[in-house]
Amino acid sequence: MGRLIVISNRVSPPGDEHGASVGGLAMALSAALREHNGVWFGWSGRTTETFTGHLSFQRGGGVTVATVDLEEQDRQEYYNGYANRTLWPLLHYRIDLSAYERSFDEGYSRVNARFADTVLPLLEPDDFIWVHDYHLIPLGRELRRRGVGARIGFFLHIPWPPRRLFTTLPNHAELVQALFDYDLVGFQTQDALSAFQEYVTFEAGGTIGPDGEVTAFGRTIRLGAFPIGLDTEAFVAAAEGEAAHAWRQRMETSLAGRRMIVGVDRLDYSKGLEERFLAYEEFLTRTPEAHEQVFLLQIATPSRDEVPAYQEIRARLDGVSGRINGAFATADWVPIRYVNRSYRRDELAGIYRAAAIGLVTPLRDGMNLVAKEYVAAQDPADPGVLILSQFAGAAEQMTEALIVNPFSREDMSDAIRRGLAMEKAERLRRWETLMDGVKRFDVTAWRDAFVGALLAAPLREA
C-alpha cells in the first residue's frame, strides 16, 4: 500500500491536531495522512504576480503539507468566479444566482491544470490520490493526461442537483465526463448520488451496474454515498473542557432566566438565514406569551465578501434583523442577537449546550455538521432539541430531529413552539437516538469507508 495524497483547494496548516480551532475533517485527513505517510497539497490562499509552480512545504503533527501560490487572475476567475459564482450556486439549486462567463471557465481549467503540473513531481508509482470538492472536478482528467495511472478518488462535499438544473450549466457534459477519469466518486447522500445517476442515464446514455458501478463516456467508475461525520469523541471532550464550560456559564448568565435558540452558520444564501429570521418573526407574532421569554442567537461568520451575492445577503440580513428587533424589542430584551464573527469550536460547544433549541435550517446543504455538533454538545441529563431542515444532507441520518421545510415560515414556527414545549422524556429519547448515530457514523468511519472503497477499486490498465 502506497502513500495517500490528499488534494483540496485549501489546506489546513499542520499543527496540534487537538487544537480547538482545527476542524474534524482536517483531523481525520491528518490521521489518514500520518497512517499512509502522505502529503496534503493545495492552494496557499496567497497570490503572486506570476505563477511559478514553486512549492512551499511545512511539516507538523506528523503531516506534510505542500502549497502553491496562484496569480490574482486565477483567484478571481477560478475561485471567486467559476467555483463560487458558477458552481456553488448551481449545485445548491440557485441557478438564478449562477454567473456564466467564459473567463471563469478558462480560469477554472487553467488552475486545475496548474494543480496537476505542480503536484505531479510529488507523486510516486504506488500512491493513491483523494481529490476534494467542486473546485477540482477536472483534476483527475488533468492527472490522467499527464500519465498518472494511480487510483484517484473524488469526494463532493456539497449537493449535486437534479439533471434539469445541472443542464443549465454551459458545457455540463464536459464537466461530468471529467468525473469519469476518477476511479471512485463519492457523494454525501443517497439523494445526491441518485441525481448524478439520473444525469448519467438520461443525458449521457450511461448504464448503472451492480456494486455502485456506472458506465458512460466509454469508462466504468464506482459511485457511492459516504455521509461525512463529526469528530465525535474530540468534540464531546471539547464540550466538557474549560473553555466550553466558561462559555456555557457566560451564556447562562446572559439568559437572565430566558431560553435560547441558537443558529451557527457561515454567512451564505444557501443557509436559509433570511427565511429563518422571518420564521422566528412568525413565531413571535403568533406566540405573544413567548415575548421576553426566549431569544434567537444567530452567529453568522462572513465569507466570500468579494462575491456580490454575499454582499447582498449580508445587507438583507442586517435589515431584517433590525426590523424584527425594532418591532418586538423591549427595554431589557432583544429578540435576535445577530453576530457576524467566528468562534472556536470549544467555545461553540459551550454555546450549544446552553441552548434549548439548535436551529439548523439550510435551504440546501451537502451535510451540515452544525446539526451533529449541537447534538454532541448537549448535556446527557437535560438535552436540547434539534430542529433540522429536510434539505440538509444530515436529515437522511438524523430522523429524530424535528424535521422542517425551511421554505415554510409556519412549519418552522410550529417546530420552535413544539421544541420549547417538549417534555424531558421525549427530549431524552430523541437525543439518545441522535447521539448514537453521531457516534457510530463519525468522521473516522467516513474516511475509512471512502479510502477502503478507493483501495478496492481495480487499477487502470497502463
> What is the spatial distance between Cα 288 and Cα 264, in angstroms, rounded to a whole number?
25
157 is catalytic: yes
Nearest Cα residue to 256 out of 318, 332, 205, 199: 332
The amino acid that residue 265 corresponds to is: D
> What is the spatial distance between Cα 34 and Cα 61, in angstroms, rounded to a whole number?
9
Residue carrying C-alpha cell 413565531: 283
> Count of CB atoms within 10 A of residue 406's CB?
25
Distance set, CA 1 to CA 32, 36, 201, 450, 451 (Å): 13, 8, 34, 15, 12
C-alpha cell at 458: 481495480
Residue 241, classed as helix, strand or coil, is coil
> What is the spatial distance between Cα 379 and Cα 240, in angstroms, rounded to a whole number?
9
Nearest Cα residue to 16 out of 64, 67, 60: 60
> What is the spatial distance between Cα 90 and Cα 59, in angstroms, rounded to a whole number?
36
Nearest Cα residue to 273 out of 389, 398, 134, 415: 389
> What is the spatial distance between Cα 366 and Cα 287, in angstroms, rounded to a whole number?
33
Contact 40, 64 (CB under 8 A): yes
Contact 260, 294 (CB under 8 A): yes
Please name the residues in contact with 331: beta carbons below 8 A apart, sequence gap of 6 or more. Answer: none
365 is catalytic: yes
| Cβ burial, residue 9 (10 Å; 0-12/13-18/19+) | middle
Start-end of H helices in 204-307: 232-239, 242-255, 273-286
Query: 231, 365, 411, 442: which is the annotated catalytic residue?
Result: 365
Q: How does strand 213-216 pair with strand 219-225?
A: antiparallel
> Count of CB atoms within 10 A of residue 303's CB?
14
Nearest Cα residue to 128 out of 6, 44, 22: 6
CA angle 299, 358, 389 (to 5 degrees): 100
Please name the residues in contact with 295: beta carbons below 8 A apart, sequence gap of 6 or more. Answer: 258, 260, 261, 333, 334, 335, 336, 337
Query: 157, 172, 191, 245: which is the annotated catalytic residue?
Result: 157
Residue 150, classed as helix, strand or coil, is coil
CA angle 152, 146, 446 (to 5 degrees): 10
| Catalytic positions, written as ranges | 157, 365
